């Protein structure tokens, strides 16, 4: 079973590759890497990741129907046993927002949840997504429990759950990603009697951040004025196997190859 899993929004796979992503892949100890916002077709993605694939990595992906938007993938050191695209909602099936890959008794999913925009149709789209995705998570957890399997959903969830997950929370109360109904959705998802666990927060309770996304604007990165919106969410039995969780924050602004940082969890 994979021991180290990473999730990262690459903010465009081709741009990230030019800025240093390939070197990071060559150095990482991760067994599986969940990628989001590849902004590439399956063909373009595979071409960009050729050095990694030639180095022994395996790739499964869900390309976006809209050119230059979305796109998710899973890189793994061993080939997946099975792959599924989408979460059962026809509206988002071709959106390139969700993919699942099975590895023995573990399912690893890569998620790019819509970012939304308060008081616009984009927010309505986000709300439709989380409503149907909640149903998928519920049925997935039940099926995994019945089959004695585990599930990890790594990805850009585009919601900062609590005040600890957002530096400037006071000025973002009406911003998408920190709206009351979004946070309440996560309250339910991560309730004590829920099947799902926010693995990173379980490893780092009661601390601010560590943040995983910083705007390219201004001094957000230098001031660590970020959001924690990249999560690994696991079924409870697998979450209990987590030993360590880190945000691989770049040493400097210039060393970044995405506006997100990889979020890596080691499991025993």
3-state secondary structure of 242: strand
198 is a catalytic site residue:
no
Q: How far apart are CA 182 and CA 176, in angstroms?
A: 8
Q: Which helix (H) or strand (E) holds 128?
A: helix 121-146
Q: How far apart are CA 259 and CA 213, in angstroms?
A: 6
Q: How far apart are CA 26 and CA 23, in angstroms?
A: 5
CA terminus-to-terminus distance, the chain: 9
Burial (CB < 10 A; 0-12, 13-18, 19+), residue 89, is middle
Pairing assessment for the beta strands 82-85 and 72-76 based on DSSP bridges: unpaired
Q: Among 156, 165, 198, 259, which one carries the catalytic annotation?
A: 156
List the beta strands (DSSP E) in 63-195.
72-76, 82-85, 98-103, 106-112, 150-156
Enzyme catalytic residues: 156
């Amino acid at each position: 079973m994979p021991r180290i899993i990473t999730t990262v929004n690459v903010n465009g796979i081709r741009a990230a590759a030019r800025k240093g992503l390939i070197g990071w892949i060559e150095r990482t100890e991760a067994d599986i890497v969940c990628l989001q916002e590849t902004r590439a077709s399956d063909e373009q993605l595979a071409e960009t990741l050729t050095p990694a694939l030639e180095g022994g990595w395996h790739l499964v992906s869900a390309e976006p129907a809209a050119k230059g938007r979305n796109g998710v993938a899973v890189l793994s050191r061993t080939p997946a046993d099975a792959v599924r695209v989408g979460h059962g909602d026809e509206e988002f099936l071709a959106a390139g927002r969700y993919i699942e890959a099975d590895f023995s008794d573990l399912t690893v999913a890569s998620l790019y949840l819509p970012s939304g925009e308060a008081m616009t149709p984009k927010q309505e789209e986000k709300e439709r997504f989380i409503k149907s995705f909640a149903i998928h998570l519920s049925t997935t957890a039940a099926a995994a429990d019945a089959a004695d399997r585990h599930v990890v959903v790594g990805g850009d969830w585009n919601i900062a759950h609590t005040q600890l997950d957002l530096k400037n929370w006071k000025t973002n109360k009406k911003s998408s990603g920190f709206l009351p109904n979004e946070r309440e959705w996560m309250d339910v998802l991560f309730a004590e009697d829920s099947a799902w666990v926010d693995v990173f927060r379980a490893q780092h309770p009661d601390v601010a951040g560590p943040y995983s996304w910083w705007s390219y604007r201004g001094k957000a990165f230098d001031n660590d004025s970020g959001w924690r919106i990249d999560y690994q969410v696991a079924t409870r039995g697998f979450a209990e196997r987590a030993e360590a969780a880190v945000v691989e924050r770049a040493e400097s602004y210039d060393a970044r190859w995405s506006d997100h940082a990889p979020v890596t969890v080691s499991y025993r």
